Structure 1
Amino acid sequence: MFHRIGHFVVRRAWWVIGAWLIAAVAIISTAPAITAQTDESKFLPKHYESVQASELQAEAFPANFSPGAYAVFERKGGGKLDEADKATAEKVVKGLTDKHIEYVETVLPVGKSYSKDGTFGVSMIAIDKKVLQKPEAADAAKALREAGVELTAGTPVKMLLGGPAASILDQQDSSKLAEALIGVGTFVIILLTLWLIFRSLTVAWLPILSIIIYSMVANGLIGYAGKLFGLKSDNSMSAILIVVLFGVGTDYFLFLMFRYRERLRAGDERKEAVVNAVGRVGEAIASAAGAVVVAFAVLVLSSLGMFTALGPSLAIAVAVTALASITLVPAVLSVVPERVLFRRVVEWLRWAGRHLAWLARGARGPRPAGNFPEHWMRQSKGSRFAALGGGVQRRPAVAALASGLVLVALTVAALGYKGTFDLTSGSMPKTKESMVVQDRMMKAFSAGAADPSHVYLASTNGAKLDAAGLDTYRAALAGTPGVAAVPADRTSLSKDGLTADITVVLKDAPATNKAIDTMGSLRETAHGSAPSGTKVLVGGQTSVLKDINTAMAHDYKLVFPVAALLILLILAFQLRSLVAPWYLMASVGLGFGATLGATSLIFQKIGGEPGLMFMLPIFIYLFVVAIGTDYNILMIARLREEVKEGRTPREAAGEAVKHAGPTVAAAGFILAATFGTMLLAGNSLFSQMGFSIAFGIIVSAFVMAMFFTPAITALLGHVAWWPGHGDSPSQDGPAAVRDAEPEPAGRL
């Protein structure tokens, strides 16, 4: 099948290239933009209590004052605010009101809202609830900050803006910077690494230009899917898409490129080499992409909207990447002569120099020849991958045991994993203005004062709520461990008197694990102490995070097993075996545990973080299991190819490491490095994600695929291919290509 695809692409190369270019322009020019959602409650299904509480609040208290931002006033040089400073703060509040900033409804006076030490005061600002979780809220926050700078100019007072709207603005700025850093870092890493491997700028640029073309197709299709199915993504998706498209795209390019060069060394003509390369690795690319697509697509089963949007988006990106890798990239390779493709920088300069000299002579005499040393045909002596393959061949038990022990040891460390739900602080540096305001308020007031919880008590029998009953109920809520206060003056009744909004201030910051634990107790008290004839719903940020925690537990039990089962089926179909898929999945399972363990050690034990971001295990599972399976597929596909050539299982394992090792090493290094660029973003979410996935890919490539998988396969021998005949020798014997040893990726 893939040989036929290769023949079709080579015969109609320019048509294929033209089709991709037309599709890219047409799709990207008409596709809707990918929008981000910042309201965590929008990621939850409607049956969760926090979502129902939000709906009740909007229905019963549509006009309730709900701060969308906080203006904090303090002296520029530090110290206590004097009476003149307080007067300046009130003037600024009036000035903000007089500016009539769009979407800003109310700016309350500071009044008595000063910290205990007198160093700052707080003004609460109401922003239109309809735009509070939309980009318009960020626009309002930006206008407020600019107005604050203008109104405090020439005074010893400065204004800082925090709260939900300011957080959205800071998250947007942080995301744009992260995307720029990740994009540039990914570009540089791919370009430099491919140049070091192939010593050719043409080869280094080829995947980048190809990815730019088909990434437009992928992003356009994702935009269509988002609009069609109402998918809600978060701010991290754009950065993740960049890494996936460029990282996975370069991986598949290397799968094809190493085999293409190998066929050239075996004596194939250029177009024939492209066809044979597609025929030999096309199935591996399709199977590897299938495993990744399935793993990502399974996220539609998640309870959280952020995953149900991210999963299909990444699945579309990988599917487009795989299609381009067996059509667009081979078409380009078939029209670029190998002398141009593998020409080194020095050779390009010499060629240019000879032609400039020829032109300087008035183009007299014969045109300079274009023959160059055929360095790509030279074979490396003493390949380190040949040595590694020989070691696996001679001592497969030692290789399996050593690599297995490394994975098991790190997996044990995963028992120390703790999750954290503070997405706001995790998605931007702590130096951002909204984070500074949050820190100020937590130190001056109760840690939960900046974003209190709300208990909504609603009558179910039509009788109005009485004041005495509310007092008793508040007292019960105040007695819950972890609750700081239930102030009577912050309880409001709906116009019909049937619903009460009771503010509950927790002792801990709303996104901490302690606050989430308190929410469980608060809900029990709220429901258990409710007067007869009433129903209770508990809302607020901590309530949302409590429900997200519950949803994550559901996803772990559903998404992980379903993804594993589907990947197992893909492996069984691709390998025609019922044995090999099981130990391949066991190896990537150990890779997942080892990655989570190493990340827990680095960030929790060494870095002192209170925990890892709650969605990290899902990301590690999907990327490490799915992409780790890519390398296993490539290695075992080559191993099967060697067995079919008539070699023993041990010889086949050695040859597979020797020939596929450079591809796995190069692909693993580049993909790990591209994910590692997330460390440049400067926030906890991307730092943890970048380190963990990069580490997991390194483990997948250099421990599992290079040692564990071929060693286990060598030990099992023909049993690994039961009950099929995937290892049945062909009649032709070892192909001539085996005598052409590929240049190792040891240049890295």
Structure 2
Amino acid sequence: MFARLGRIAVRHPWKVIAVWILAAIAVVSAAPTLTATTDQSAFLPSHYESVQAMNLQQKAFPNDVTPAALIVVERADDTALTAADSAIVTAIAGELSGANIKGINGIQATPPAENRMIQVIAVQMAKVTDPTDKTQSDAVKKLRETLGERVDGTDLKAGITGTAAQLLDQTESSEKGMAIIGAATIALILVLLLIIFRSPVIALLPIITIGAVSSTVGGLIAMAAEAFDLKMDSSVNSLLTVVLFGVGTDYILFLMFRYRERLRAGEDPKTAMISAVTRVGEAITSAAGVVIIAFLALTLSTLGMFRALGPALAIAVAVAMLAGITLVPAIVSLLGTKVFWPSKSWQREPRGLLFGALGAALGRRPAWFAVASGGVLVTLGVAAFGFHPTFDLTSGSTSDTSESAVYGKELLKGMPAGATQPSLVYLQSGSGLTDEQLGVYRTELAATPGVGQVGEPRLSSDRGVAEFQVTLTAQPDSDAALATVRGPLRDTAHAAAPAGATAVVGGMTSVFVDFKDAMNHDYTVVFPVAAILIAIVLALLLRSAIAPWYLMVSVGLGFAATLGSAVLVFQQAQGNSGLIFSLPVIMYMFVVALGTDYNILMVARLREEAKEGHDPKQAAALAVRHTGPTIAAAGLILAGSFASMMLAGNTVLSQIGFAISVGVAIAAFVMATFFTPAVTALLGRRVWWPSRIGDESTYPTEDAEWVDESTWRTPQLTNRR
């Protein structure tokens, strides 16, 4: 099949390119607009308590609008506010309200804090779930500008925090970070490919090709989202960019290294490309198949954000794979050896001193390499047991000097930490709620450990539902706040409900609590199913019932080693309370799925060498020599791309970038280059059972000798090599 694909791409290149262009035009013209949501509760199933609370809120208080921004006002000399100061704050609130800023529904000054260190002006805005809607962000920008004018000339200083302001600052920080990441990724690809191939043509090939198919990917994802009612997270676009460039560049590298190898073997350019597609096409397709399966396994998640993200990334990988075995061969067949211009190094077989020496050493002592590389994986993996998830993302997703962060801290001078996003407790009774019941219930809630204050209840029109605004003593997304909601607050809310009444706890902290429970469930479902499906793909690729077992063990060790590395750096060395809650799933998507590509490429070459008559140690030596440079180049580019995320300047992206880059590096430079070939050499021909590949009758004779410490020479193999 792959030989046929190669012949079609090489013999009819313009037709192949035309098909891609027509397909892109058709998809883009027919695709709907891809919309995303920032409403985290939209990703949870309806049986979770936070979602039930949200549904009850919408039913009982259909016109409910909670403050989206908080203006924190204090004296410039950090002393207590006077009565005159408070009057000025009230006047400022009135002036801001009279400014009629678009997107703001109401502005109300609240009484000063008990210690009079701060006074808050609550700003109500219409709820926004579409991240493309900039109404709230524009309103915050205009509000900050107007506020500065009103405060100027007084003894006061003021700033804006709250969800809308935090989202604006996070978006600006993220956009800046993604610009840095995008520029660093492209620069890294260009520089490394220039160093490897010494050709600007090949260096530009992934950028141009992947950029050309990106619109097709976006259109297909939009179609899938509309057809299956998938709710896309706002981060989908940035992840798609990284996946497309990372995976696409890897597949192009796999192909071009083999193309160059066939040219050096004496084949003409067109025959060499057909041979390259024939020999590496199965490995690319199988590697893509593993990644696609891993991503599609996320459809089993209870979280809508992952159920949608999985198919989206699977579509991106599928398109990158098809482009790698059809579009790229067609383009290269038109260029021929000019694709290497101006370098002539493609004409010469390199001495391969580094990987030749490594392969020779591994071939002689596979046990040493297996123990050393396995020991590294196990040692780092032990640290993974110290992993602690945290939802405290606000402080890490923007700069500490941003206005929302600065005045979020100033708010704590006079109010509990949870004031920015209070929890909401809803008490419901079919027979109506009395004032006495409400008073007793409020007292019980206020006595709950971790609760700072409880507001007066707000009743629905029929007195059947009461809303209590509960301000926690901890930041709403902190571990302490989650512990309060999960335990004492929910327990008290449920137990203290009057006879015949029920209670549910809502708010963003409650959403995070349910997120954590949902993800713990997903770990026990998604990961095992994905592992089984990946093992099946490996068994089909290798025609072996043995190899998939130790390959999956190595992948598991790589995952544990990656998580352990992140724990050591961020929890142990830097003293953070934990790692972002979604890191294991993100690692699963990128480290396990994409890292397995390198394992597949190495094992496919090991199988190829075994089929050509080499014994297990010889096959391992040759596989490392010929495939090691490809894996090293691909791993370096992919790891470097993700490492650029650490330049974005916030903790969240730093953790993600570090974990993925280290995971890819472990997969490429430890697992695929050393551990897998060493274990394969130790297990011998039984690795390929029930296939008869590597039967001892096909091995070279005992008088075989090393040549350049990297290849074997026997009478029947001298001409081939």
TM bucket (normalised to shorter chain) is: over 0.9
- 1:448 matched to 2:418? The reply is yes
Structure 1: runs of 5 or more not aligned? 348-373, 744-748
**d(CA) in 1 for partners of 2:23 and 2:470?**
55
Query: Which of these residues, 503, 508, 520, is aligned with residue 469 of structure 2?
Result: 503
State the number of aligned residues. 705
Residues in 1 aligned to 2:334 and 2:79: alpha-carbon distance in whole angstroms: 71
Match of residue 365 from structure 2 = 395
1:31 aligns with 31
Task: Name the amino acid aligned to 1:229.
Answer: F
Q: Is the Cα–Cα contact under 8 Å of residues 37 and 129 in structure 2 kept in the other structure?
A: no
Q: Give the equivalent residue in structure 1 for 2:717.
A: none
Match of 1:518 among 484, 496, 501: 484
- Which residue pairs with 1:60 in the alignment? 60
Alignment match, 1:357: none
**Cα RMSD between the aligned structures?**
2.4
1:308 aligned residue: 307
- CA shift for structure 1 position 231: 2.3
* d(CA) in 2 for partners of 1:662, 1:279: 20
1:317-339 alpha-carbon deviations (Å, 9 max, x no partner) = 1110000000111111100031x
1:45-194 correspondence to structure 2 within 5 Å? 45-64=45-64, 66-74=66-74, 85-110=85-110, 112-114=111-113, 116=115, 118=117, 120-129=118-127, 135-153=134-152, 155=154, 157-194=156-193
Distance 2:277 2:537 in 1: 20
Identity %: 50
Q: What's 2:407 paired with?
A: 437
Give the whole-Å Cα distance in 2 for the aligned partners of 1:145 and 1:89: 15
Question: How far 1:222 moved relative to its partner?
Answer: 1.6
- Please say if 1:570 is aligned against 2:537: yes
- SS of the residue 1:430 aligns to: coil
In structure 2, distance between residues paired with 1:633 and 1:730: 26
Q: What is the TM-score when the length of structure 2 is the normalising length?
A: 0.93
Give the structure 2 partner of residue 292 of structure 1: 291
Q: Which amino acid aligns with 1:401?
A: V
Checking the alignment, whether the CA contact within 8 Å between 2:357 and 2:710 is kept in structure 1 is: no
**Displacement of 1:310 after TM fit?**
1.4
Question: Could you tell me how far apart the structure 2 residues matched to 1:147 and 1:434 are?
Answer: 16
Instruction: Note the C-alpha offset of 1:501.
Output: 1.0
Structure 1 residue 278 corresponds to structure 2 residue 277: yes
Q: Does 1:481 align with 2:481?
A: no
Which residue identity lines up with residue 361 of structure 2 in the other structure? G
Listed as ranges, the matches of 1:601-616 within 5 Å are 601-616=568-583
Deviations 1:637-664 (A, max 9, x none): 1011111110101100110000000000
Aligned counterpart, 1:584: 551
Relative to structure 2, which stretch is displaced further, 536-545 or 183-192? 536-545
Distance 1:139 1:391 in 2: 63
Compared CA separation, residues 476 and 423, structure 1 to 2 (3 A): same
Classify the secondary structure of the residue corresponding to 1:108: strand
Matched, 1:257 2:223: no
Structure 1 residue 13: Cα displacement: 0.5
CA deviation after TM superposition for structure 1 residue 28, in Å: 3.5
Question: CA 1:83 to 1:531, structure 2 compared with 1: closer, same or farther past 3 Å?
Answer: closer
Post-superposition Cα deviations, 1:230-261, rounded to whole Å, max 9, x if no partner, equal 32233332222111111111111110010000
- Aligned partner (choices 427, 450, 459) of residue 429 of structure 2: 459
Separation in 2 of the partners of 1:9 and 1:63?
A: 60
Any idea what SS the aligned residue of 2:221 has?
A: helix
The letter for the 2-side match of 1:619 is I
TM-score, structure 1 as length reference: 0.90
* Change beyond 3 A, Cα 1:116–1:725: farther
Tell me which amino acid in the other structure corresponds to 1:447: A
Aligned residue runs from structure 1 range 342-361, under 5 A: 342-344=340-342
Distance 1:212-1:606 versus aligned 2 partners, 3 A rule: same
Give the CA deviation at 1:565.
Answer: 0.9
CA distance, structure 2, for counterparts of residue 302 and residue 404 of structure 1? 31
Deviation per CA, 1:682-728: give whole Å up to 9, x if none: 22221111100100010001100011000110011111111223446
| 352, 355, 359: which one aligns with 1:385 | 355
- Return the alpha-carbon distance in structure 1 between the equivalents of residues 541 and 280 of structure 2: 12
Q: Deviations over 1:498-521 (max 9, x none)?
A: 111122222211111111111122
Q: What displacement does 1:268 show?
A: 0.6
AA matched with 1:126? Q
d(CA) in 1 for partners of 2:39, 2:326: 40
Q: Compared with structure 1, are the counterparts of its residues 74 and 226 closer, same or farther at alpha carbon in structure 2 (3 Å cutoff)?
A: farther
Q: CA deviation at 1:55?
A: 1.1
Q: Distance in 2 between matches of 1:24 and 1:431?
A: 44
The separation in 1 between residues aligned to 2:119 and 2:80, in whole angstroms, is 10
Instruction: Give the Å deviation of 1:485.
Output: 2.7
1:596: which partner in 2?
563
CA deviation digits over 1:165-191, x for unaligned, max 9? 222222322232222111111100000
Q: Map Cα deviations across residues 663-694 of structure 1 (whole Å, 9 max, x no partner).
A: 00000000000111111222222111110010
Q: Name the aligned partner's letter for residue 269 of structure 1.
A: D
For 1:507-541, what per-residue CA distance to the aligned partner results, in whole angstroms no more than 9, with x for missing partners?
A: 21111111111112221221122111111111111
What's the secondary structure of 2:302's corresponding residue? coil
Letter of the 2:105 counterpart: E
Alignment check: 8 A CA contact 1:453 1:506 kept: yes
Letter in 2 for 1:502: F
Listed as ranges, the matches of 1:659-698 within 5 Å are 659-698=626-665
Please give the secondary structure, in 1, of the residue aligned with 2:191.
helix
